[in-house]
Amino acid sequence: MSPAAVPSSRAPSPRTVARRRRGRAARRWLWRGRWLLVAVCCGIAAASTVQALRPAPPPTRSVVVPVHELAAGVAVAATDLQVVAVPNDLAPDEALVDPSDAVGRVPAVTLAAGLPLSASLMAGGEVAALAPDGTVVVPVRLDDATAVLLRAGDHVDLVSTAPAEGGAVYLARRALVLPAGSRAIDDGGPPGLLGGATRAAPAAVTLLAVAPAEAPGLSAASGAGTLAAVLVP
């Protein structure tokens, strides 16, 4: 036999042996972890499918909302408001988008935090904005003879005409007549009531700016028809 035909008996190098061992170890690891690998691939596929099928987020609008509950009859400050994005379906068509449109206005009813504000929810704000800082607006019924004499900017003391020990009771001092002035409102019933027998003449209603502490008693006396006004300098 010729020397070229004799098989080589040279042992493999240490580098080759190490490479073979790493290959066998990798194959064993892949075989043992094949189910884990399958699970990972299935998870990736499922996540991709869910992401593809997920509906697009609904369109939104930026609207003005209260950061906390707004009390009825209290003027709104800039710190009471924030602008947030809400789904179009939850935003009224007339929703306010600029906080300055709500600052100084007065909610007609108590408003919950996060409720999109609209002009209809801030009814009366234009009148309240004309009142001096620190005052609230109260509508009162005065007799026609007094109401026709009042002009915007006049000051009046409001006195209770209900019987009281010690004489007349002052309910408000130097109340300011607002530019809205006096107006006649036919409510179809006696003073202080909504409905009832037909009135012979409409009730005179005047909008006044008074101190917050004076408002409850003044409103109650006006509703009971026990109120008189005195023009003061």
Q: Cβ(60)–Cβ(85) under 8 Å?
A: yes
Q: Cβ(102)–Cβ(117) under 8 Å?
A: yes
CA distance 97 to 116: 9
In angstroms, what is the C-alpha Rg of the chain?
40
Per-residue model confidence as pLDDT tens digits over 208-229: 888 888 888 888 887 777 788 8
Euclidean distance between the first and the last CA atom of the chain, given in angstroms as a whole number = 140
Smallest CA-to-CA distance from 210 within 202, 219, 201 is with 219
Residues of each domain in the chain carrying CATH 3.90.1210.10: 60-128
Residues 6+ apart with CB under 8 A from 38: none
This prediction has a pTM of 0.43
Say which CATH class 60-128 falls into: alpha beta
CA distance 163 to 18: 112
CA distance 100 to 154: 29
Q: Cβ(181)–Cβ(192) under 8 Å?
A: no
Strands of 136-142's sheet, edge to edge?
136-142, 203-210, 169-185, 155-160, 227-232
Q: Is the dihedral of CA 88, 92, 94, 98 positive or negative?
A: negative
Task: Give strand pairing partners of 186.
Answer: none
What is the percent of the chain where pLDDT is above 70?
70
Per-residue model confidence as pLDDT tens digits over 93-124: 788 889 888 887 777 667 888 888 887 776 55
Mean pLDDT by 10 residues, the chain (233 residues): 53 73 72 70 73 72 89 81 86 84 76 82 64 82 81 89 72 85 43 39 70 86 80 88
